[in-house]
Structure 1
Amino acid sequence: MTHHDHGHEEHSGDALVEAARGSLTEAGEQWTGMRQAVFEELARHEIPASAYDIADNLSRSRGKRVAPNSVYRILDLFVRSNLANRIESANAYLVNTHPGCRHDCIFLICDDCGKATHLDDERVTGALRAAGHDAGFADVRPVVELRGLCDNCAA
C-alpha cells in the first residue's frame, strides 16, 4: 500500500497492533481477543476487505464459525475509533496505519485489482471542509473515493 508522507507515524506488524490497542483502550474501550483477531486479519489485507472475508478467514483459522454480524460491529467500532476506514464504494474496510489520527482521506481504488492507495491533499479536503461549513455543517471530515486503474493495471 502506498502512502504519501503527511506527518503521521505509520505502523505495521506488531507495532500497528500495539498502536491500535493503545488507541482503543485510551478511548475507554476494551481490547478483547476477538477485536485483536479482527484487527490483525484486517491488517493482513493489501486491498479493502469485507466483513464476510474477515469472518470467513477467522472461522477457518479459529476452527469455529465467526458471525459476519459480530465482525461488522467490531469494524464499525474501529471506524468510529479511527483504527480503520470504510471504503463505501467497495463496502469494505481498510486498516488505518496511524491508529487514532483523525485526518481527511482521499482513497484511490483500482477497479481492476482492487488495490486502495490513500493520499492527503489539503487543497482538496480543505475546500470540501470549507464547503461543508458554508452549508452549515460542523466537524466536517471529508472521505473521498476516486476509482480508476492503478499504474500496473493500466499498463
Structure 2
Amino acid sequence: MTRHDHQLHEGDSLKSAARDRLTQQGEQWTDMRAAVFDALAGFDKPASAYDIAEAVSGTQGRRVAANSVYRILDLFVGANLARRVESANAYVANAHPDCLHDCIFLICDTCGQTVHIDDDSLSGGVRDAAKTAGFTAPRPVIEVRGTCGDCGD
C-alpha cells in the first residue's frame, strides 16, 4: 500500500471523532481536554503549548498553565488525536484520529504552513532502512522543510 484514503474530519465532526477515539482508549473527555483540543484544531499552523495555553486562557477567562497543556497534548499524541511537529516543538490536530499511520510533514520555512501527507511507501522505506541498520522504527516521523507553493517563486 503506497497511499491510502481515509475520512478527514473537520469542525464538529473532528471534535466528535477525537472524543470517540479518546474514550475508546479508556480516557475521559473532560472540559479542559475539550478546550485544549478546540484551541489546537483552531490553529491553521502548528501551535506550541504556549500558544494553546494562551488561547484556552482567553476562552476560559482564567490563566491556564502551559505545563497542563503539555500533559494533555502528550495524551492526545498517544491517542492519535494530535501530531507533534518535532522541529518546531509544536502540534497539529490529526484530521483522521481513527487511522494510525506514519507522519510526513511538509513545512514551509517562510510562512510556517505545515501539510501532513500519508505515503506508506516512503515511510515504509524509512522503516526498512532502519531495520537493515538494526534499528526498530515503529512509527517514523518525517519532516521536509522547504517552501510552499504560496511562498515559492
Structure 1 and Structure 2 fold alike (TM over 0.5)? yes
Deviation at 1:32, TM superposition (A): 0.4
Residues 23-57 of structure 1: per-residue CA shift (max 9 Å, x gap): 00000011100000000110011100000000011
Q: 113, 122, 125: which is aligned to 2:123?
A: 125
TM-superposed CA distance for 1:139, in Å, is 5.8
Q: Does 1:44 align with 2:70?
A: no
Structure 2 gaps, min length 5 = none
Contact persistence 1:51–1:68 (CA under 8 A):
yes
Aligned to 2:61: 63
**Distance (whole Å) between structure 2 residues aligned to residue 113 and residue 146 of structure 1:** 14
Match of 1:134 in 2: 132
Query: Where does residue 16 of structure 2 map in the other structure?
Result: 18
4+ long deviations beyond 6 Å = none
The one-letter code matched in structure 2 to 1:78 is: F
Q: Shift of residue 101 of structure 1?
A: 1.7
5+ residue gaps, structure 1, are none
1:96 matches 2:94: yes
Contact 1:133 1:140 (8 Å CA) reproduced: no
- Secondary structure of the 2:5 match is coil
Moved more, 127-136 or 54-63: 127-136
Check whether the contact 1:16–1:97 (CA below 8 A) recurs between aligned residues: yes
1:151 corresponds to which letter in structure 2?
G
Distance 1:122 1:28 in 2: 29
TM-superposed CA distance for 1:138, in Å, is 4.2
* 1:148 maps to 2:129: no
CA contact (8 A) 1:109 1:146 kept: yes
Structure 2 match to 1:77: 75
**With structure 2 as the length reference, what TM-score do the two structures score?**
0.93
TM-score (norm 1): 0.92
d(CA) in 2 for partners of 1:121, 1:100: 17
Alpha carbon RMSD of aligned pairs, Å? 1.3
Once the two structures are superposed, residues 79-122 of structure 1 have per-residue CA deviations (whole angstroms, 9 ceiling, x without a partner) of 01110000011110000000132101210001111100111222
CA distance in 2 between partners of 1:76 and 1:100 (Å): 17
Q: Secondary structure at the match of 2:116?
A: strand
Task: Quote the residue 1:6 is aligned against.
Answer: 4
SS at match of 2:17: helix
